[in-house]
Amino acid sequence: MTIIVDDAGSGDLLFGVVIGAYRVEDREFKYGVVDVKYFQRPSFRRKEYLKQTSRLVLQLLEELELKTDETVKICRGSIFDQALEDLRKKLGEARIQRVKVTGEPQYLIETAYLDEIRNLGYEPLKERELKRAKSFFHMMRWLKKNPDKMKHAKTGWPRLSKYRLFRST
């Protein structure tokens, strides 16, 4: 038995990050959100999102009632670095694998993220996965037109200060 853990939205400008857990054998899927506040100052600088991601991964595994013989395959993304360390301490090295997530688990987690950003009123580009830069600027233009939604932006990245829109955040 295997549970696959992945994220969606960590590289996007809008919303927090969706963390999902998918049990392969019965196709059970659960997800939660690392709140956007952890990607804003001062939390982002202190990398609090890593602790929150780890907490959420452990919570999802508990909700799925992780069995003693199950393997956890976790995405290679750096957002899972703390979770990986915590899981290895809790479950042991042998039950944890770092993988590139594809297929149904990736689709479900990505869909959950897209639903969340649509709930903000934002309609993502269809080709967002293939054109990351275009998607970033599309989100940035949307924020410029909807300044009341700035509270939903990941403003902690230092490089954003080169854009006027983010200088006051």
Residue 76 DSSP class: -
Question: So what's the pLDDT on residue 28?
Answer: 97
Question: So what's the pLDDT on residue 45?
Answer: 94
**Residues whose CB falls within 8 Å of the CB of residue 165, separated by 6 or more in sequence, listed in order:** 140, 143, 144
| Vertex 4 angle, CA 49 and 31, to 5° | 55
Q: Which residues constitute the domain of residue 76? A: 2-166
For the chain, which ranges sit under pLDDT 70? 130, 168-169
Question: So what's the pLDDT on residue 134?
Answer: 87
Question: So what's the pLDDT on residue 169?
Answer: 54
Residue type present at position 84: L
Could you give the CA distance from residue 134 to residue 106 in angstroms, rounded to a whole number?
A: 21
156 near 54, Cβ under 8 Å?
no
Question: So what's the pLDDT on residue 155?
Answer: 95
Question: So what's the pLDDT on residue 131?
Answer: 74
Could you give the CA distance from residue 38 to residue 55 in angstroms, rounded to a whole number?
A: 13
Torsions phi, psi for 117 (to 5 deg):
-75, -30
What total of structural domains would you count in the chain? Answer: 1
Question: So what's the pLDDT on residue 96?
Answer: 97
C-alpha dist (Å) from residue 5 to 35, 75, 148, 154, 159: 18, 6, 33, 22, 29
Question: So what's the pLDDT on residue 119?
Answer: 97
From 140, 160, 151, 127, select the one nearest 35 (Cα to Cα): 151
What CATH number does the domain containing 125 carry? 3.30.420.10
Q: What percent of the chain has pLDDT over 90?
A: 86
Could you give the CA distance from residue 22 to residue 48 in angstroms, rounded to a whole number?
A: 24
Question: So what's the pLDDT on residue 168?
Answer: 67
116 near 125, Cβ under 8 Å?
no
